[in-house]
Chain A
Amino acid sequence: MRFAHRHLLGIEHLSQSDITAILDLAEKYVDLNRQSAKHSDVLSGLTQINMFFENSTRTQASFEIAGKRLGADVMNMAMQASSIKKGETLIDTAMTLNAMHPDLLVVRHPHSGAVDLLAQKVNCAVLNAGDGRHEHPTQALLDALTIRRAKGRLHRLNIAICGDVAHSRVARSNLILLGKMENRIRLIGPPTLVPSQFVDFGAEIYDDMNEGLKDVDVVMMLRLQKERMDGGFIPSEREYYHRYGLDAAKLALAKPDAIVMHPGPMNRGVEIDGTLADDINRSVIQEQVEMGVAVRMAAMELLARNQRDAA
């Protein structure tokens, strides 16, 4: 199994076999994580720094647990509270950290491309934990693993990605990954949140959710990113819920065995009906979180292995 990448900055740079390699390795970690002794030592002696320039609970916790289970020394840096406030630039922060010889740097940043920029300036492996509205590769990988486990395959599926595509890095990474794995993708949402340029990615666009959900295998809901909106994309949350919120009636249009996904955190009653989100027969939202840890363990192991080979 060869994974010829120094960093994991986006799905854009990965091939089909890269994606399969990560998912296959992640399967092993799913098993490990379900045992009572969850420890491995593949990252022992390595230092992992989580730099989050944007608030995160779930992703940061997931990366932290993943690193700790693999035996790395993990440090969390809440960048909003630190040197950025003192006027230090991103590059200077990166150079400072680089001097401390970390091996893995997990970075989230509110601006697209910021993680790429940082990766150019450091010697260690960089994992993109979300940059602006650009990419969130580990989220797409955990979604892929969830789909593969639920559906038995990761190709020739009809997958609907619904909601706020414009502001979503999750949607971009998923669109790229699922496209590379040869699935049919539909983007569903109001045209203000699903710009027509996405047709160029090979997706079909629907502004009528009832039409778009017909016969899909997977329904992927997105969070309405209120914090990224500079106002006026939708008239109100209640109208949005009425037209684009996923409830049992709309889901009935999809295939009977269609699964429901959400990257979290959910706005219950805005993009998804609360009861539906908790329906263990349809919703794989909890499984997504579980797969997240496994996928991140796999990605970090592959990057660390490359580093060791290079050393």
Chain B
Amino acid sequence: MSNLIFTNAHLIDPETGTDSIGWLQVSNGRIAARGDGDARAQGATIIDCGGKYLAPGIVDIGVKVCEPGERHKESYKSAGLAAAAGGVTTIVTRPDTSPATDTPESLEFVTRRAQADAPVNVVPMAALTKGREGREMTEIGFLQDAGAVAFTDCDHVIANTKVFSRALTYARSCGALVIAHPQDPGLSGGAAATSGKFAALRGLPAVSPMAERMGLDRDIALLEMTGAAYHADQVTTARALPALERAKANGLDITAGTSIHHLTLNELDVADYRTFFKVKPPLRSEDDRQAVIEAVRTGLIDTISSMHTPQDEESKRLPFEEAASGAVALETLLPAALRLYHAGQLDLPTLFCAMALNPAKRLGLDSGRLSVGAPADLVFFDPDVPFVLDRFSLKSKSQNTPFDGQRMQGKVTATYVAGQEVYRRP
């Protein structure tokens, strides 16, 4: 097996919150040793990092790969290549495929396709209710046996609280993590933007940011009732944060994530109805964005995901209200996150805590760390390389990125999964 030594690297260790110059040795797919200063070991391939950065590979909760159903938008092969190029070593796939991934058989299909085609780790999530329809729970136990790491109906909110509370109760008995989309479905119905001056000026149907807090409040009450393990997929508004903070202080088993788009873009970016900026929930105000960045800094928000959602040109080249939601982000997650680093708002250990360590821990995975014994899932990157993003250079089958034509800084040099190089920048 491979025996590699990375030397002269900034090691970003989210577990200790440190960023130090040193070396790291990989053998048999795991991190074998690491230390400060110069490495002494012989008989290994030496990779001189030239003072650039080595961090645990990104663990991305909530990636949509469109198999089965819409393979023309994204396949395991294209998503895997995109992930590798973006420094994402584990993609945690969403079950909002068509049909939904809601049976052990369909989950098995997903796992088989992923193993055959994707160069990175793929761990699947399964639907919490059959067909994501919010009526009957799925076979949570069987699905866990088949490899589901979490259960979610994605952006479908289970409106019936009786159904949801039973699913949470049952999931608790299996020790299963439930991931939900905190949003009041009534208030947010039909919305394409966040209410405010911008939506009023553009004449877009809008939702109050309060809908997110209401959804989160409801879910928190159900957690108090059921004691289940719960992760909110995207917390994007300032008003939802105090509720999350209280729930954590009260000892509930709750974590929360946010999306890279809500951290780096705001509602004004939609400008003249640019549909690549239509995501779900809609982009928020600048005040909300700043509050969410601060919540990531303090650890109140645990994870950052790409919420990678491929959409073809046809679904986006429509009037804003009719256009499909979502953006691809596997390859832009790290460069976009580095905007927050370059702006001095989040340091690198904090970013990799939210992008690697915390998501791995929440899902019970061993990765996301630079400690000896951890899987050698690594991203080697240069945070300073400037570039202008050309969406047609993306490896995803769909190129619906809001960052097209934007200046970004920071590129992945190489990505390693279990010590194997799966990507190297040409």
Interface, chain A (partner B; CB < 8 A): 12, 89-91, 109, 111-114, 116-117, 131-135, 169, 172, 195, 197-198, 200-201, 230
Contact = CB atoms under 8 A, between A and B. Distances in A.
B272 interface: yes
Interface stretch (B33-41, B200-208, B336-344, B411-419): B200-208
B376 to A, nearest CB: 47
- The 9 residue pairs across chains A and B that have the minimum distance between CB atoms: A113-B273, A134-B203, A111-B319, A133-B203, A114-B319, A112-B203, A200-B197, A197-B200, A113-B320
- The listed residue with most A CB atoms (<10 A of its CB), out of B204, B273, B319, is B319
Contacts of B272: 113, 116
B195 interface: yes
Contacts of B200: 172, 195, 197-198, 200-201
A201 B320 CA distance: 22
Given A195-B200, A197-B196, A201-B197, A112 B319 contact: yes
B203 A89 contact: no
Given A134-B202, A135-B203, A112 B197 contact: no
Main secondary structure of the interface of A (DSSP, over half): mixed
B319 A195 contact: no
A197 B197 contact: yes
A113 B319 contact: yes
A89 B202 contact: no
A214 B196 CA distance: 28
B320 A89 contact: no
A89 B196 contact: no
Contacts of B273: 112-113, 116-117
B357 to A, nearest CB: 40
B273 to A, nearest CB: 3
Interface in B192-223: 195-197, 199-204
Contacts of B195: 195, 197
A190 B273 CA distance: 28
B150 to A, nearest CB: 34
Nearest to B272: A116
A172 B203 contact: yes
B190 interface: yes
B317 A112 contact: no
B190 A230 contact: yes
B202 A112 contact: yes
B48 interface: no
B314 interface: yes
A111 B320 contact: yes
Nearest to A171: B203
- The listed residue with most A CB atoms (<10 A of its CB), out of B197, B200, B318, B320, is B200
B321 A112 contact: yes
